[in-house]
Amino acid sequence: MCYFVHRRYGTPYTIYAHGICKELYPRSIDLEAVPEKKTTRSILRKFQLWSELDHKSFSNAAVCFANSRYIEKQLSNLYGISNLVVLYPGVDIDRFRPMSSEETEFVLPKHGIRTPFIFTSNQHIGYKKIEWLIEMMPLILKEAPELSLVVAGNPNPEYTPKLLRAAKKLSLTNKVLFLGRVDEHDLAALYNRATVYAFSPPDEDFGMGPVEAMCCGTPPVAWDAGGPRETIVDGENGLLAKPYEFHDFASKCLRIATDLGLREKLAMNALAARARFSWETHTSHLLRVLFRLTGAANP
């Protein structure tokens, strides 16, 4: 729509890309893990016009914002454009903040959660690879049998049954708790109560979960790949695991769960994310670019 307005009236416009269109340009993991999108991909590929319009939209934008350097590189390679600016997403740091035990006590009985627990939050989509965390749990439970895995996120009729079957197959139905969708109040409390936040997507564009967890003072574990490698500094505010070695990821979760000194150090450093990824930081960066484009004075 913006491209057509620009073509007709010369109105400048910007694009904020949170990733490459996975229907037009599916990754190998999309083809393998999200088969239900096969029909959509097939239809789009048959209409070359969609791809042409997509390229024209990006090439004619005054500025293309990318939500990470990882996506910036993909946009540059795919569209051959250079008018790119990295603009990290913002976090509501008034909501996602360190909270006292009294503030968060309600969330445990409400959802039937026992501490300590590993927490993850993601939409139930195949490429998020939540089942990997379930498959890692036997490795974790050998060293820390008191731990459980709590999974929050919108269920999906195609993918959620696969997660339930994986837990049942490994006899983990009493160690893996599925909460479904939770509101932001509960989500913030869960971040605070978690011993460690585990992020399983192997090729994530940015990854809000690790950043929200850090804003609450909970150290994350993620793969050393994609967007999370830009937000997590290994050994400083969280831990990064070698892609995609289950034993390494499980050992990183165990290190945080069992080493109180390490966990306290990572948690303290993780709070720096509050300034780096606040909405104030996000909008200040955005406004500087927009005022530069329009030639208006920056108030």
Strand partners for 55:
none
pLDDT score of 297 more than 80: no
Per-residue pLDDT at 137: 98
pLDDT score of 34 more than 90: no
Give ranges for CATH 3.40.50.2000 in the chain: 101-274
Longest dimension (CA), the chain: 65
Beta-strand runs (E) in 10-139: 14-17, 63-66, 84-86, 117-121
Read off the pLDDT band of 298 (50, 70, 90): low
User: Is-contact 274 237, C-beta < 8 A?
Assistant: no
pLDDT score of 52 more than 80: yes
| DSSP character at residue 33 | H
Per-residue pLDDT at 299: 61
How many Å apart are CA 88 and CA 215, to the nearest integer?
15
C-alpha distance from residue 158 to each of 29, 149, 213 (Å):
16, 21, 27
- Mark out the alpha helices in 232-278 (DSSP H runs): 246-258, 260-270, 273-276
Beta-strand runs (E) in the chain: 14-17, 63-66, 84-86, 117-121, 148-152, 176-180, 196-198, 220-223, 239-241
Task: Please state, for a pLDDT cut of 90, what percent of the chain lies above it.
Answer: 87
- In 10 A of CB 79, how many CB atoms? 19
0.85 exceeded by pTM: yes
Per-residue pLDDT at 44: 76
Per-residue pLDDT at 47: 76
Residues with Cβ within 8 Å of residue 229, at least 6 apart in sequence: 70, 222, 240
Please state whether beta strands 196-198 and 239-241 pair in parallel, antiparallel, or not at all (unpaired). Answer: unpaired
Mean pLDDT of 156-163: 94
The CATH T-level fold of domain 101-274 is Rossmann fold (3.40.50)
pLDDT score of 18 more than 90: yes
